[in-house]
Amino acid sequence: MSGTVKVAALQMRSSTSLTRNIADFEALVREAAGKGATYVQSPEMTGALVRDRDSLRAMITSDDKDALVARAGELAAELGIVVHVGSTAIARPDGKVANRAFVFGPDGARLATYDKIHMFDVDLDKGESWRESATYEPGRVSTVVDLPFGRVGLAVCYDLRFPQLFRAQALAGASVLTVPAAFTRQTGEAHWHVLIRARAIENGAFVIAAAQGGRHEDGRETYGHSLIVDPWGKVLAEADGAEPGVVLAEIDLAASAAARGKVPNLKNARDFTIADGAGLANAS
């Protein structure tokens, strides 16, 4: 599918208050729609950024009762747009927590969900350490959804570092890849731009990445710099630093087919095995 569409990435600074975050989310969605966006994506953990595990568990609920999820569907229907909640924490029936994305169509219907697969379990410089798997249950299914303008692959934040996920989505027909995120300032300064651009170039796809930015109430600091990148790796739009706001760009999905035609690496990939030693298996 091809066609031009205006898309938006919302940059937020989510607090520990779900009520405040929903109000901020709604204001940015309305701003984006008012500027002509028909697809709007919010960052990872739109609902709340709460580092303390017990506090988070005490404030979340199932997705059928979650106030942010309900409001996102209402806004999609009212404004006649696609609303993509990058993710929010959801209580699972088994007592565990999901880091879950939601996509609502222009009629307000829920089109897709996605639970973040890769857990951010890392030890960074300056004593910064994260163990996402201590709170969240990883997803096991990659999601690609058909939207009015084309086929879109869903991912969340740390998934960005696993190119096989995006390759599989591209091979499944996705010409738009999404990476809503709450990248730390430390990792964002080092890797955010190059990884987003690499995923676009590798797959001949647009990448839309709404981000959290700034210092949050729970003490963490996120990088911001929400991005929209074209299939040739060109940055079409970028948030100026870490301040909340709306990033907009016109994308033409024909550019994805054109990029894949020029560099058909999706078609040219070959199966191979790994051999120990000096490659003697290839010797004549």
Answer yes or no: 65 catalytic: no
Provide the domain limits for residue 65: 4-268
CATH number where 70 lies: 3.60.110.10
pLDDT higher than 90, residue 135: no
Q: Which of 116, 128, 238, 262 is catalytic?
A: 116
Q: What is the pLDDT of residues 148-179, one digit of tens each?
A: 999 999 999 999 999 999 999 999 999 999 99
Answer yes or no: 128 catalytic: no
| Pairing of β 206-209 and β 176-178 | parallel
Across the chain, mean pLDDT equals: 93
Q: Which of 157, 202, 243, 250 is catalytic?
A: 157
Global pTM? 0.94
Q: Is residue 276 part of a domain?
A: no
User: Which helix (H) or strand (E) segment is 22 a member of?
Assistant: helix 18-34
Q: Is residue 284 part of a domain?
A: no
- What are the phi and psi torsion angles at 187 (to 5°)? -75, -30
Sign, Cα dihedral of 9, 15, 18, 23: negative
Q: Which of 6, 26, 35, 44 is catalytic?
A: 44
List the single range of 194-203, 229-238, 272-281 with lowest mean pLDDT. 272-281
175 token code pair = 């010409």
pLDDT class for 278, splitting at 50, 70, 90?
A: low
Distance (Å, rounded) from C-alpha 21 to C-alpha 48?
Answer: 7
Q: What is the pLDDT of residues 51-64, one digit of tens each?
A: 787 888 889 999 99
The number of folded domains in the chain is 1
Residue (of 255, 257, 248, 256) closest to 81 by Cα position:
248
Residue labelled with tokens 């298996």: 281
pLDDT higher than 80, residue 269: yes
Q: Is residue 281 part of a domain?
A: no
User: Which helix (H) or strand (E) segment is 103 a member of?
Assistant: strand 97-104
230 and 196 in contact (C-beta within 8 Å)? no
Residue (of 65, 79, 144) closest to 111 by Cα position:
144
Q: What is the pLDDT of residues 218-267, one digit of tens each?
A: 888 999 999 999 999 999 999 999 999 999 999 999 999 999 999 999 99
